[in-house]
Amino acid sequence: MDITGKVQSISKKKGSFAFDVLIKDETLKVVSKTEIPELKKGERVAITNLTKKRSFLSSYLEMTEESLITLHPHIRFNPSEIDYANYCKYAPFILKLTGNSRFDDGVMERDFYNTIRGIEPKDPKMTELSDKFIKDIKAKFSFREFEISKKFGIFMKNTLYFSRFPAVFSGNEIRAKFQAIENKLDKYLVINKDSGKLDEFNMTFEEKKSLLNLRNEMVQLYYEKMSDEMLDKECTETCPLFNTCKRIRKYPRDFDVFSTYFSSFLKKDHYFRKKYIKIIREGENPERKSLEIHAVEIHPYSILAKISSNEPSIRKGEDILIIEKPPLDRKIFGKVQNISFEEISCESNVPAANPELVTPLESYEFNYNGIVELIFSQSPLKELFIKNGTIQESVIPQEKYIENDEDQNRAVNLIMSESPFVLVKGEAGSGKKFIAKKAVDKFIQKGRNTLIVTDLRKKEFEKYFSGAENLIKVMDLKDAYRNKEKYDNLFLFLTGTLEPDNIISLAGNCKKIVVFTNNLKEKFYNEEKVPESLKAMLHSQHRFGKHILHFVATLLSDVMKEKEDSEVKIINKDNASPAFLPIINPEKYVQFISISGKVMGKKNKWNKEEGDLTVNIVTEFIKSGVERSAIGIIVPFERQKALLEKLLEEKKITDVDVFEPNEAEEKEVIIINLVENNEIKSPFKKADNLKMVLTRARSKLILVGNKNPAKKDKNLNKVIKK
Ligand code: SF4
C-alpha cells in the first residue's frame, strides 16, 4: 500500500523508527526497521509499498525493503536537475542561480516520436533514424507531453515509451530511470541515435532509492539554511561549478553573504515551482485564467485561431499551455507567435488536433549571475551594495558639455568622473536620456562600453542610443539580471524600485553604475551612503511647455523650471474637417474629449467608440499635414491596443504607433484613451503610470474618455481639475 500525508510525531526505539502520519483526518503509525531520511514534524511525505500489520493493541504500517520515501512530494523537480544533485545538493540550484543551467527537456524523444508518426520532422536527421525502424516496431512507441508524479515529486516533459517500457536517447538515461520509478518498472530502454539500436537496462531497487534520496536532499534545502559544511567540502574538478564554488568558499564572511542571497533565491524558486505545476496540472492560470480559442487552421506545429476576447492578456512570445477539447483533453506546450484583435497564432511542441483553450504559463527563469561576481570581487560597488559602506568622494571634472542647463552639465561631469557610482534624479522631461547620450558618446571616444538598462520602453531607448554597436547595448531590466557580459558602465533607468538581489546582480558585471530615476523624493537603495557630491538633481523641463507642465504638475515630485510651449506644426489646416478643427488646434496644448462609449471585457477591456474617435482624430491630423511618426496613442489595455491597430489598418494608416503604458514613447502629439466608464481600474490608476503616459507629449496632449470615472479617480481628478 502507498500513502501520502503529514508527519505528526517521530520516535526512535531500539533501532526501529516510528512516526505518525496524518492522512486527511486519520493518523496512521508507520514503522521502519531500516534507516529513513531525517524527518521533521509537519513535513509532507509519500511512502510506497507499506504492509499493514496488527499488534496486540493497534494496527500500524510497516515499511518494507521495497518502500520508497519522498519528502514534500508536492514540490516537483525534473530528472536532469536531480542528475546534477549527484555532484551535491547545492549544484542544481547554484547552476540556476548563476544562469549556467541547461536542463534537458526530452526534445529528441519528442521529435523522434513525431517523425515515426509521419509528421514533418522539426529535426530532419530524425527521418534517417526513423527509417531504420520497421512499421510494426514504430507502432509500439507511445508518447506523453508530460508526467507529474504525485508520489515521487517529479515533473517530466516529453516522455517516450516502447511498449510499456521507458525509452530515451543515450545521454537522457536519468529521465528513463524516473519514468521507470513512476511506472513501478525495473527496466528501461536506450535508443542509439546513430544505429537506432534499442538496448535494455535493468534498475536495482538501491538505484531507485538513491535517486530519490538525491531528490529528498534537494527539497530539504528549501527548509534549511545553507550549511557551513560546504566550506569544507572536497569537490572534484569534474563538477561544472568547481571554479564558482571555489570562489564562494574562499572567505567565510563572503560565504555568509552568498548564503543569504542563496536563501532568497530558493524562496522565489520554491514559489514559482509550485505555481508552474499548479497551472500545468489544472490547465488554468490561477490569476490570469485561460483564453478560449476557435481553431481555423491547424498545421503540424502551428495553430491559427479566432478569439473574441483576451482576458488573460496573453502576449506575443509568451510560453503557453494549449488544451484540447474532450475526449482528447491533452495539454500541449507551445508559444504565442502573434496575437491581434481577432486572431491568435501559436506554435505547438507537438501537433495539436482539437485545441480549445490557451493558458499563459508564466515560465520562470531568474538567475543572478552577477551576485557571485560582486560578492567575491574587490569592486568599490561591493562596499556600497553589500557591506553597506559609503562611497568615497571623487574629483569632479569641470568641462562644458551642455550650454543652457547647469544641472545637466554637472550631471555629465559627475558621470565622467572616476566615481564608481553616480545618482541622477530628474522628473519626466528633465533630460536624463539626453545627459546619458552625451556621456555615452564621450565614453565611446575613450573606447569604453556602456550597457543601458531600462525597466520600461526598451524600444524607445534602442532608437535613442543607436549606433556604435560594439560599445553600447540596450537591455530590458528583466534580461539584464541574467546578463553575463562585462561592461565598463551600466546606465540604469528606473521608474520603479529595485530589490537588493537585483541591484547586486547588475553591479557584479560592471565597473561603474549611473542610476537615472524620475522621482526626486524616493530614496534609491543605500542612497544615504552616497555623498551629495555624487548626486545630480535636474530641475528644468525640456520636453514640453508650460501648459502641459501645469496640467501634470500635481503628479510630479519636483517643481520644475518651465519652458515655452511648442506648437505642433499644422501645414494644411484647410484639409481638415471643420468639426475637428477645435481638436487639432495647435494652440490648445491639453484637451479632454469626453465620450461615453461601451466598455467590453472584464480585465482586458476595450471601448470601440473611443477607438473610432481616436482614429478619426489621427486621420484629421494626417490630413492637415502632421507627420504620422509625430503621433502616438497610449491605451491602458492590450485589447484596446489590438483594436486600435485593427481600426488604423482598416484606414490604411500603418505607421502611427499605439502603445501600452510600459512601452509608451515620446511624440509631438499624444492621444490617450481611458477606455473605462465607471471606475478607473486600469494601470492608469497608479500615479506613476499616469504620470508616465501624460508626460510623453511634447506639444499636444489629448485625453479621450468618459469624464465621470476620471473625476472619481484621485490622481486623474487632480490633473483634470486644472
Ligand atoms: S563544486 Fe562542490 S560544492 Fe560546488 S556544486 Fe560542485 S560538488 Fe557542490
DSSP code string of 563-613: --------S-GGGS-GGGHHHH-TT--EEEEE--PPEE-SSS-EEHHHHHH
Report the alpha-carbon angle 609-613-617, nearest 5.
170
C-alpha cell at 574: 484647410
Residues paired with 289 in a beta bridge: none
Q: How far away, in angstroms, is 475 Cα from ligand 1 center? A: 32
Q: Which CATH architecture has domain 547-720?
A: 3-Layer(aba) Sandwich (3.40)
Q: How far away, in angstroms, is 37 Cα from ligand 1 center? A: 22
C-alpha cell at 287: 490569476
Q: How far away, in angstroms, is 88 Cα from ligand 1 center? A: 6
pLDDT-wise least confident of 94-98, 162-166, 346-350, 700-704? 94-98
Q: How far away, in angstroms, is 276 Cα from ligand 1 center? A: 27
Residue (of 631, 621, 634) closest to 580 by Cα position: 621
Residues paired with 397 in a beta bridge: none
**Is the distance from CB of 189 to CB of 173 less than 8 angstroms?**
no
Q: Which atom of ligand 1 is nearest to the CA of 95?
A: 5
Mean pLDDT of 565-572: 94
Best probe residue, ligand 1, of 86, 239, 244, 262 (max atoms within 8 Å of C-beta) = 239
Mean pLDDT of 626-638: 97
Sheet (strand 69-71) strand order? 50-54, 59-63, 26-32, 16-23, 3-13, 44-47, 69-71
Residue scoring higher pLDDT (409 or 503): 409
Using CB atoms within 10 A of its CB, is residue 564 exposed (0-12), middle (13-18) or buried (19+)? exposed
C-alpha dist (Å) from residue 239 to 84, 94, 497, 532:
9, 12, 37, 46
**Strands annotated E in 624-722:** 631-634, 657-659, 667-673, 697-705
Residue (of 89, 80, 71) closest to 212 by Cα position: 71
Residue scoring higher pLDDT (638 or 229): 638
Q: Which atom of ligand 1 is nearest to the CA of 87?
A: 7
Listing DSSP states for 488-519 in one string gives EEEEEEESS---HHHHHHHHTTEEEEEEEES-
Return the percentage of the chain with pLDDT > 70, whole number.
Answer: 99
Q: Is the CB of 239 under 6 A from ligand 1?
A: yes
Q: How far away, in angstroms, is 215 Cα from ligand 1 center? A: 16
**Is the distance from CB of 490 to CB of 514 less than 8 angstroms?**
yes
Q: Which amino acid is at 601?
A: G
State the pLDDT confidence band at 722, using cuts at 50, 70 and 90.
Answer: low
**How far is Cα 482 from Cα 98, in angstroms, rounded to an integer?**
8
User: What residue owns the CA closest to ligand 1's atom 8?
Assistant: 88
Q: Is the CB of 88 under 6 A from ligand 1?
A: yes
State the pLDDT confidence band at 201, using cuts at 50, 70 and 90.
Answer: very high
Q: Is the CB of 306 under 6 A from ligand 1?
A: no
Write the pLDDT tens digit of every residue in 21-77.
887 778 888 888 888 888 888 889 999 999 998 877 778 888 888 899 999 999 999
Q: How far away, in angstroms, is 368 Cα from ligand 1 center? A: 18
Give the dihedral of Cα atoms 387, 393, 399, 404; nearest 10 deg.
80
Those residues with Cβ within 8 angstroms of residue 57's Cβ, 6 or more apart along the chain or in another chain? none
Best probe residue, ligand 1, of 84, 94, 214, 258 (max atoms within 8 Å of C-beta) = 94
**How far is Cα 720 from Cα 659, in angstroms, rounded to an integer?**
22
Residue (of 174, 134, 197, 118) closest to 126 by Cα position: 118
User: What residue owns the CA closest to ligand 1's atom 5?
Assistant: 91
Burial 77-105, CB ≥16 within 10 A → b, else e: bbbbbbbbbebbbbbbbbbbbbbebeebb
**How far is Cα 413 from Cα 407, in angstroms, rounded to an integer?**
10
Q: What is the DSSP letter of 398?
A: -
Instruction: Cell 540596450: give the residue.
Output: 474
Q: Which atom of ligand 1 is nearest to the CA of 248?
A: 4
Q: Is the CB of 94 under 6 A from ligand 1?
A: yes
Q: Is the CB of 248 under 6 A from ligand 1?
A: no
Instruction: Outline where 342-480 has alpha helix (H).
Output: 369-375, 380-385, 406-416, 432-445, 458-464, 477-480
Predicted local distance difference test score (pLDDT) of residue 79: 94
Q: Is the CB of 91 under 6 A from ligand 1?
A: yes
**Centroid of chain to Cα 19:** 41
Q: Which atom of ligand 1 is nearest to the CA of 246?
A: 1
Q: How far away, in angstroms, is 92 Cα from ligand 1 center? A: 10
Instruction: Outline where 594-660 has alpha helix (H).
Output: 608-623, 638-650
Q: Is the CB of 86 under 6 A from ligand 1?
A: no
Q: Parallel, antiparallel, or unpaired for β 631-634 and 657-659?
A: parallel
**How far is Cα 583 from Cα 100, in angstroms, rounded to an integer?**
56
Return the percentage of the chain with pLDDT > 90, whole number.
Answer: 69
Predicted local distance difference test score (pLDDT) of residue 102: 66
Task: Flag whether pLDDT at 159 surpasses 90.
Answer: yes
Q: Evaluate whether 290-360 and 547-720 have a shared fold.
A: no
Q: How far apart are the first and last CA of the chain?
A: 74
DSSP helix, strand, coil percent of the chain (3-state; round to 5):
35, 25, 40
Predicted local distance difference test score (pLDDT) of residue 711: 84
Those residues with Cβ within 8 angstroms of residue 124's Cβ, 6 or more apart along the chain or in another chain? none
Residue (of 222, 218, 84, 221) closest to 152 by Cα position: 218
Best probe residue, ligand 1, of 83, 84, 245, 259 (max atoms within 8 Å of C-beta) = 245
C-alpha cell at 621: 491630423
Residue scoring higher pLDDT (678 or 640): 640
Q: Which atom of ligand 1 is nearest to the CA of 230?
A: 3
**Centroid of chain to Cα 610:** 32
Burial 144-165, CB ≥16 within 10 A → b, else e: bbbbebebbbbbbbbbbbbeeb
CATH number of 290-360: 2.40.30
Those residues with Cβ within 8 angstroms of residue 263's Cβ, 6 or more apart along the chain or in another chain? 225, 226
Q: How far away, in angstroms, is 163 Cα from ligand 1 center? A: 39
Predicted local distance difference test score (pLDDT) of residue 327: 87
User: What residue owns the CA closest to ligand 1's atom 2?
Assistant: 235
**How far is Cα 163 from Cα 129, in angstroms, rounded to an integer?**
19
Q: Is the CB of 90 under 6 A from ligand 1?
A: yes
**Is the distance from CB of 432 to CB of 538 less than 8 angstroms?**
yes
Q: How far away, in angstroms, is 640 Cα from ligand 1 center? A: 51
Residues paired with 358 in a beta bridge: 291, 322
Q: Is the CB of 242 under 6 A from ligand 1?
A: yes
Best probe residue, ligand 1, of 90, 96, 230, 250 (max atoms within 8 Å of C-beta) = 90
Q: Which atom of ligand 1 is nearest to the CA of 88?
A: 8
Provide the angle, in degrees to the nearest 10, between the axes of the packed helices 608-623 and 638-650. Answer: 50
Q: How far away, in angstroms, is 87 Cα from ligand 1 center? A: 6
Q: Is the CB of 246 under 6 A from ligand 1?
A: no
Q: How far away, in angstroms, is 74 Cα from ligand 1 center? A: 26
Q: How far away, in angstroms, is 44 Cα from ligand 1 center? A: 28
Residue scoring higher pLDDT (79 or 251): 79
Task: Flag whether pLDDT at 521 surpasses 80.
Answer: yes
Task: Flag whether pLDDT at 547 surpasses 90.
Answer: yes
Residue 184 main-chain phi, psi, to 5 deg: 55, 50
Listing DSSP states for 512-551 in one string gives EEEEEES-SSSPPTTGGGS-GGGEEEE-B--SS-HHHHHH
Predicted local distance difference test score (pLDDT) of residue 666: 96
Write the pLDDT tens digit of every residue in 464-517.
998 777 899 999 998 898 888 999 999 999 988 888 888 888 999 999 999 999
User: What residue owns the CA closest to ligand 1's atom 1?
Assistant: 242
**Centroid of chain to Cα 231:** 33
Predicted local distance difference test score (pLDDT) of residue 680: 93
Q: How far away, in angstroms, is 507 Cα from ligand 1 center? A: 25
**How far is Cα 357 from Cα 328, in angstroms, rounded to an integer?**
13
Using CB atoms within 10 A of its CB, is residue 208 exposed (0-12), middle (13-18) or buried (19+)? buried
**Is the distance from CB of 492 to CB of 352 less than 8 angstroms?**
no
CATH number of 3-67: 2.40.50.140
Q: Which amino acid is at 89?
A: K
Report the alpha-carbon angle 162-167-169, nearest 5.
135
Residue scoring higher pLDDT (101 or 298): 298
Q: How far away, in angstroms, is 360 Cα from ligand 1 center? A: 35
- How many Cα atoms are found within 13 Å in the side-chain-facing hemisphere of 672? 29
**How far is Cα 155 from Cα 178, in angstroms, rounded to an integer?**
9
Q: Taking the model in full, what pTM does it have? A: 0.90
Predicted local distance difference test score (pLDDT) of residue 611: 98
Q: Spelled out in words, what is the top-level CATH class assigned to the domain 377-540? A: alpha beta
Task: Flag whether pLDDT at 294 surpasses 90.
Answer: yes
Those residues with Cβ within 8 angstroms of residue 56's Cβ, 6 or more apart along the chain or in another chain? none
Q: Is the CB of 461 under 6 A from ligand 1?
A: no
**How far is Cα 433 from Cα 416, in angstroms, rounded to an integer?**
15
Q: Is the CB of 230 under 6 A from ligand 1?
A: yes
Domain ranges, ordered by start, for the chain = 3-67, 76-282, 290-360, 377-540, 547-720
Q: Is the CB of 233 under 6 A from ligand 1?
A: yes
Instruction: Cell 534517417: give the residue.
Output: 128
User: What residue owns the CA closest to ligand 1's atom 4?
Assistant: 245
Residue 624 main-chain phi, psi, to 5 deg: -90, 10
Q: Is the CB of 549 under 6 A from ligand 1?
A: no
Q: Which atom of ligand 1 is nearest to the CA of 245?
A: 4
Q: How far away, in angstroms, is 112 Cα from ligand 1 center? A: 34
Q: Which atom of ligand 1 is nearest to the CA of 239?
A: 6
Q: How far away, in angstroms, is 241 Cα from ligand 1 center? A: 6
Q: Which amino acid is at 630?
A: A
State the pLDDT confidence band at 254, using cuts at 50, 70 and 90.
Answer: confident
**Is the distance from CB of 517 to CB of 425 less than 8 angstroms?**
yes
Burial 652-681, CB ≥16 within 10 A → b, else e: ebeebbbbbbeebbbbbbbbbbbbbbeebe
Q: How far away, in angstroms, is 242 Cα from ligand 1 center? A: 6
C-alpha cell at 669: 502629439
Mean pLDDT of 261-282: 92
Residues paired with 169 in a beta bridge: 191
